[in-house]
Amino acid sequence: MAVLPFSPTPFFANKNQAFWNLQLLGWGGATMLRVMSAVANDQPAERLVIILIATITGFSLSLILSVVYNYLIAQRPLVTWGSTAVVLMFATGIYAFIDSWVLEVAGTSSSGSFVSLFVGIYFFDLTLLGAWSALYYAINFFLQVEEQSDRLERLEAQATSAQLAMLRYQLNPHFLFNTLNSISTLVLLKQTEPANAMLTRLSSFLRHTLVTQPGGKVSVAQEAETLQLYLSIEKMRFEDRLRTNFRIEDRAAKAQVPSMLLQPLIENAIKYGVSPKEEGAEISLLAQIVGPRLRITVSDTGPGVDVGGVADDLPAVMATHKRRDSTGVGLANIRDRLAQAYGDDHRFEIRSPESGGFTVLIEIPHELADEEEPPAAAQGTLAEKQATALAVNPPSAPQKVSTKP
């Protein structure tokens, strides 16, 4: 997986320009201090020429040092610091020699000999070039640390995206197996129209799972439309044993949720609420805005489950005498997706009263969905829509879908 390019601090976005800006600012400031000192001490005007020559010499030597340091900074620490010390001492020697020679030629030196003048200037120039060298390494090490931190954040973001994709693509194979098995049965019974309708709906549903972004978000209305497509497939299997009741407030319909977040909840409700009971069960979905948050409740009137032993940090269905086959994978999947998308800023609870039934409550920040095109599940070819319209659905109780203001 490719790592996105590094985006440095704005000042260092153009490293070459930043270097020259710092060069001019640093050496210009040092020159102004020396000029102000010379003026304050009533030194002759010739002293300003000597200061200008010293500045040009230091500026030129620092350019050479930048090339050498740029090579040394990539070496092992022992080589870097050892070579830097040697190069700095040598460059300072050249700097001090030129300064001493200029002072000697100008006749402004008060020292008795050239050697004593050289030694005195050497330590001053060593301080100046040493400070420049320390600043050069500090800035470059800062940029390296910033780049490593930026890459780490991008890798973590990509790992999160990959994990979201993995969780999103965990479509229960039992659903596919049961649907394909039902289609095969209908074909053997020569009921081609219901088989074609079920196959068309399955195709549209699977297309939607592939088209939507793994870590993307859709509106609650789009998510509900996808669930209706999924339920239309299951209703052909369970007939009137599967009853649904969707209640979505107008404001909640425009809120954002991670795509395919609710499908595992509906699938669990069908598997553990509708299948075990001969009379079936009703699955309800309620979406509403509570303050600044979106609250979604999915419940069924099935046999329920004992949640007494479920840990707070792992709200997955435990195997009980009521739901012996439950593994909690679907609930754990949703919990992980919510944690990846919202961190600790979400609520995920499961409830199952003694009288039966099972409820999952999800509460997330209220985010408005952008205006988008209709979801892929609602789109299809004319042939698909005609096949669905011509399908003969088994008799079932009327589906109650209401919108509450």
Distance CA 144, CA 378 (A): 49
Neighbours of 342 (CB within 10 A): 16
In a domain, 375, yes or no: no
- The answer to whether residues 215 and 246 belong to one domain is yes
Report which of 273, 297, 281 is spatially closest to residue 351, judged by C-alpha positions. Answer: 297
Of 166, 193, 212, which residue is a domain's last?
Answer: 166
317 within 8 A of 326, measured Cβ to Cβ:
yes
Distance CA 192, CA 205 (A): 20
CA 30 to chain centre: 45
- The answer to whether residues 272 and 252 belong to one domain is yes
Of 114, 141, 166, which residue is a domain's last?
Answer: 166
- The answer to whether residues 124 and 188 belong to one domain is no
Q: Which two tokens stand for residue 177?
A: 């197996």
| Type and span of the H or E element at 198 | helix 192-211
Distance CA 402, CA 44 (A): 94
In a domain, 186, yes or no: yes
Distance CA 177, CA 182 (A): 9
Report which of 174, 178, 182, 233 is spatially closest to residue 204, judged by C-alpha positions. Answer: 233
Using pLDDT thresholds of 50, 70 and 90, give the confidence band for residue 328. low
Structural domain span for residue 203:
174-310+328-365
- The answer to whether residues 192 and 68 belong to one domain is no
Neighbours of 111 (CB within 10 A): 15
In a domain, 5, yes or no: no
Distance CA 297, CA 269 (A): 12
In a domain, 7, yes or no: no
Distance CA 292, CA 365 (A): 6
Using pLDDT thresholds of 50, 70 and 90, give the confidence band for residue 327. very low
Contacts of 185 (CB under 8 A, 6+ apart): none
60 within 8 A of 53, measured Cβ to Cβ:
no
In a domain, 198, yes or no: yes
288 within 8 A of 295, measured Cβ to Cβ:
yes
- The answer to whether residues 106 and 179 belong to one domain is no
> Which has the higher per-residue pLDDT, 145 or 306?
145
- The answer to whether residues 91 and 118 belong to one domain is yes
- The answer to whether residues 154 and 200 belong to one domain is no
- The answer to whether residues 265 and 116 belong to one domain is no
- The answer to whether residues 132 and 179 belong to one domain is no
- The answer to whether residues 105 and 244 belong to one domain is no
Distance CA 301, CA 359 (A): 9
In a domain, 397, yes or no: no
- The answer to whether residues 185 and 140 belong to one domain is no
Report which of 393, 386, 373 is spatially closest to residue 200, judged by C-alpha positions. Answer: 386
Distance CA 219, CA 255 (A): 5
Of 144, 166, 188, which residue is a domain's last?
Answer: 166
Report which of 108, 165, 92, 147 is spatially closest to residue 341, judged by C-alpha positions. Answer: 165
Distance CA 184, CA 190 (A): 10
In a domain, 257, yes or no: yes
Across 114-123, 124-133, 258-267, 363-372, least confident range: 363-372
Domain count, the chain: 2
Burial class (CB within 10 angstroms; exposed 0-12, middle 13-18, buried 19+) of 285: buried
362 within 8 A of 296, measured Cβ to Cβ:
yes
Distance CA 331, CA 20 (A): 58
pLDDT on residue 161: 62
- The answer to whether residues 206 and 111 belong to one domain is no
Amino acid at site 3: V
Coil vs helix vs strand at 92? helix
- Look up the pTM and report it: 0.51
pLDDT on residue 326: 45
Amino acid at site 390: L
Report which of 251, 254, 235 is spatially closest to residue 243, judged by C-alpha positions. Answer: 235
Question: 290: domain CATH number?
Answer: 3.30.565.10
Contacts of 164 (CB under 8 A, 6+ apart): 214, 215, 258, 337, 340, 341
Coil vs helix vs strand at 219? strand
Using pLDDT thresholds of 50, 70 and 90, give the confidence band for residue 104. confident
Amino acid at site 333: N
* Average pLDDT rounded to a whole number, residues 83-93: 93
pLDDT tens for each residue of 277-319 = 888 899 999 999 999 999 999 999 888 775 554 444 444 433 3
Across 187-196, 210-219, 232-241, least confident range: 210-219
In a domain, 373, yes or no: no
